[in-house]
Structure 1
């Protein structure tokens, strides 16, 4: 039990219990723990209780925050654990850095930041980091789910940060407030504001529906719950298909040629078919052509049918309707019976990002992601306030739109209007250097500045006018592609922001002395973000493929699988997860994959929502 000294003020907590604390807001609690000393006797036992003292200091604002903002909600200016230790107390007066999301970008940022520069708060509906590249392995029982997650509170401990389990709803940019929604113990929604000095949005994305009807009949693979539902659904369907007088078609391949053929009736392997519906002409179309062909040949040997140049129109409970373009160019509507469908078709904005984009109006023109500049600052917000990284964001490639900015210094030196400046080759070389600095991804297209100068000097005057230069930069724009929505990109962006924030924290005293509060402070202290593609890799049924870029690619069997595992093993975020991954791979080698379905009755209703219809339908036919 807890006994609290002083009865000056009372505060009602979410649990319903009352805590009494003194006017200086310090809890002095006596926590009586018991140590049992048993005395052997035929008639009695004695228990000795030994009390110890525990002092807890909590600010009044943490328990009774003031209200404000457009919706007059509580403002969490002080965290409940701000006074837990002297180290935490020192962070209270530091700039408030709020991070939304607990994905790859956010974790990379946390691991890069200096521990003493910011008062850090991470907000996420999940209190763990998920190692998404290995999620498919968990769906088929190769890995356990706990091997893919790391508690987020362990990660933020290094930077003395705080964690709030809630979802972001809206951002009040003018007042620097984020509206959050959490759940109380009784299930009611609790809304409040969280103030920030710097805000990083890394909330990820959702699966792109592409306007297809019937996606409620599909499974998705974005988080742990999806992986559990997929595994349980597959195993449940297989178990039901073993019942007497029941035939079931299941569109899923993994596990079939190894564990399931050893433990389930052999006839199931002949009754089960796997199909991949691909909108492009080849699978792995972003990889090297040789890698793509290897994957297709491998799937063909494993009896996986690839339906290319096909687009899904509708997903029904028992079949898929899709269109397929033939060699003669004609489009034919086809249907495919199914018992399990996994939908994996790119990324789209979350509802939160859609609201943020709508609030920023014309500054946001991309329907699929939030647009940022090359310093990862969210377009339409004050410079240096809000950043966006990971799948929820895209770096805007608009070199031509900054043409006047590139020419401003040159025009001032020549005393001319920027649109009337004539650029010599030397002037163009200086402008190209500015373009490289502002848009690092354009550097590959500016290697031969002399050739570009000759190509776009249409009138052979030996100079480039404003129109010719605009046409040149627009051609570069057309060659720039969006950065891939991968964990690799999010990780690099998180590290980039971490290094930049560290630099800005060191430069803060000097900027304060010189009263530098406006302008492009990011560019003054750090370079623009440059993505370095380190290669792509994929696992395809006891083999793996690697595309390292620059024409370097390879594919293979068991040795490639171990190379693939070693890459992700090295990328694990903690020693704990590395140990668990190693143990899971060892167990899989020794004992095979996990084939158990451990869902309870309540979970069973969710798990078999796509399987029971076909079982009942088969019984009705009998």
Structure 2
């Protein structure tokens, strides 16, 4: 028996080899304190860490979503509150306006909402700014002008502004029309302005009165005069008819109402074609879609109809209908998207060819019937005109622009307004012939003058320093600087190779080689430069830039009005506060059916889904408000998950 008092050294601890199997009698012995326990497997460690992070991420997402939903419900609960309006201040002149003007109409010098919430009582101390229209140009002005600069009033037949580039998508149900519109009253609320739901029909420039036609709830038309200090015309345009008969059987795509009518017709055609009683010939006519015009609107509409057939019609309608669908694009030029680069036009044409979309180029529509379209082409060998017909029950007309009735009326009242499609304005967007600084025009309804020769005497008067009636090269350089400043669109034709270009132009038109240009030589030179200037396209990008430029300039005129008057300058002197309008082309883009093309001048980009999502991103960022951005994103998600809405409303 071993004594418990024996020395410790008599019982040495046995060292255990961890890598070897321990003896049976040592299986339950403790390991020395310096040894480490067996570690867990590396895969298990990674799995446990990933599980922890995944659980944490899911918990955070659920918590964040719960907080968001809870916040929405809490905010919604607070919107249900009782608000009482007692003793609203209203001016008697707003309810019973005085009459006057050439037609002895009521003059709305005070509006009903002018005194609400104490906001600028009738605008008595502010100039009256009246904006006619509610499109891209008008919204551009409203977004850049500052509250308190003017007493602002919008005159528009619609109570909302529309994101027009996505109307082809709305026409087939890819997005909802509600996602493309924003209330003008919400936009103008920032400026404490007013909206008159009516249509401008006439103008009295001598008295600064705008005649507005309003429609009462009973359907009665009532005209009133709206006084203004500054008037901005941004009424847009209408489609050009080109003298083609039968256009009453065509659809256009400029408004929300047009998109809704197109959607109804397309779905009606498919529903009628699916009936057992419909003959094969009638079914093919119903499913024949003709687009007249190969510009962005026509191309995008054709692409959207193709997408509708490929992604939704083939799933929920008899497949025979998809087989009988035919889409035709009739273009008067040699290529579609002819304002884009040649590579983009070729890419779009190849895409349509793969999709069996028929492109009819170098053709002219002769007439449109309820059941067919008649167009002509010219035989390349004999030059003989050949007539063709396409049976159809759907025709979209999208070929150029023309003046609407109000624009035509304004143009007829002014001298030197010879343009047939729009009102001519100077580089400061002032309507030519109207009182200086009173009337502006922007957007599709306006075109900036490109004639330089009309400013010949003015340019010579400024540049001719020695008063000899001729312009030497040094004076020509002064004139070039003045032309660039007065008409920025001419700068591209004067800046090539810098001084060498300016010198070559001077030498080219110096016919008598006397190192000077006389008036006749100058007139020919300026006429040639003016002929090379291309008018700005009628696009949303141009209208938006013009609106923002004009809004900024009107703000400067309002803030510097006292300084200008103190220096003896009229408050309408645009040149004193801002330079001429200079358009910056940011690129053109178009959707061509699950693909998109981009034209940035020297750089072109085209492709499939990646380009399509880039196209969506650009349009999403250009929305007027966060509300429309949210709705648009929801529409795209709904279309991707559940498809388009095929119901008829």
- Range of TM-score over shorter length: 0.7 to 0.9
Q: Are residue 240 (structure 1) and residue 292 (structure 2) matched?
A: no
Match of 1:351 in 2: 405
Contact in 1 for aligned 2:115/2:122 (Cα 8 Å): no
> What does residue range 416-565 of structure 1 map to in structure 2 within 5 Å?
416=468, 421-447=469-495, 448-517=501-570, 521-550=573-602, 552-565=603-616
Query: 1:216-258 CA deviation, whole Å, 9 max, x = no partner?
Result: 1111111111101100111011001111131322223431111
CA displacement at 1:566 relative to structure 2 = 0.5
Residue 466 of structure 2 is aligned to residue 414 of structure 1: yes
Q: Deviations over 1:150-176 (max 9, x none)?
A: 000010011111111000010001110
Contact between 2:108 and 2:227, CA under 8 Å: does it hold in 1?
A: yes
| TM-score for the superposition, normalised by structure 1 | 0.85
5 Å-filtered alignment, 1:164-563, equals: 164-247=196-279, 248=283, 249=285, 250-252=287-289, 253-254=305-306, 255-328=308-381, 329-360=383-414, 362-411=415-464, 413-416=465-468, 421-447=469-495, 448-517=501-570, 521-550=573-602, 552-563=603-614
Is the Cα contact below 8 Å between 2:97 and 2:106 reproduced in 1?
yes
Q: In terms of mean alpha carbon deviation, does 181-190 or 62-71 score higher?
A: 181-190
Matched residue SS, 1:320: strand
The alpha carbon displacement at 1:90 in A equals 7.7
Contact residue 400 and residue 477 of structure 1 kept, 8 A? yes
How far apart are 1:377 and its partner, in Å?
Answer: 0.6
Q: Give the conservation status (yes or no) of the 8 Å contact 1:82–1:92.
A: no
C-alpha displacement of 1:517: 3.0
- Once the two structures are superposed, residues 54-78 of structure 1 have per-residue CA deviations (whole angstroms, 9 ceiling, x without a partner) of 1211111101110000000000000
CA distance in 2, matches of 1:403, 1:465: 11
Question: Is contact 2:249-2:369 (8 Å) kept?
Answer: yes
Gaps of 5+ in 1: 1-49, 599-622
- Give me the whole-angstrom Cα distance separating, in 2, the residues matched to 1:514 and 1:388: 28
Q: CA deviation at 1:524?
A: 2.0
User: How much is the aligned-residue C-alpha RMSD, in angstroms?
Assistant: 1.5
| Residues in 2 aligned to 1:51 and 1:523: alpha-carbon distance in whole angstroms | 48
Question: Contact conserved, 1:251 with 1:341, CA < 8 A, in 2?
Answer: no
Secondary structure in structure 2 of the residue aligned to 1:565: helix
Match of 1:576 in 2: 627
> Structure 1 segments of 4 or more deviating over 6 A?
50-53
Gaps of 5+ in 2: 1-81, 290-304, 496-500
**Residues 1:52 and 1:203: Cα distance change in structure 2 (over 3 Å):** closer
Match of 1:29 in 2: none
8 Å Cα contact 1:105/1:390 also seen in 2: yes
Deviation at 1:53, TM superposition (A): 6.7
After superposition, the C-alpha distances for 1:298-351 in whole angstroms (9 at most, x for unaligned) are 001111100001000100011111111232233211111111111111111101
The Cα shift of 1:577 comes to 0.4
Aligned to 1:78: 110
> What secondary structure does 1:378 align onto?
coil
Q: Are the equivalent residues in 2 in contact too, given 1:544–1:557 (CA < 8 A)?
A: yes
1:107 maps to 139
Give the match for residue 15 of structure 1. none
Deviation at 1:52, TM superposition (A): 6.2
Query: CA shift at 1:115, angstroms?
Result: 0.9
Provide the residue aligned with 1:566 in structure 2. 617
Q: For the pair shown, which has the larger CA radius of gyration, 1 or 2? A: 2
The answer to whether the 8 Å contact 1:141/1:593 transfers is: yes
Q: Which residue of 1 aligns with 2:6?
A: none
Deviation track 1:45-103 (CA, whole Å, cap 9, x = no partner) reads: xxxxx996712111111011100000000000001111112333284320000000000
2: CA distance between counterparts of 1:267 and 1:120?
57
Task: State the aligned residue count.
Answer: 541
Distance in 1 separating the partners of 2:466 and 2:225: 51
Question: Does 2:109 correspond to 1:55?
Answer: no
**Structure 1 residue 515: deviation in Å?**
4.3
Post-superposition offset of 1:582: 0.5
| 2:172 is the counterpart of 1:149 | no
The equivalent residue for 1:5 is none
Deviation per CA, 1:345-367: give whole Å up to 9, x if none: 1111101111111121x321011
SS of the residue corresponding to residue 166 of structure 1 reads strand
The answer to whether the aligner puts 1:135 opposite 2:167 as a matched pair is yes
CA distance in 2, matches of 1:76, 1:445: 48
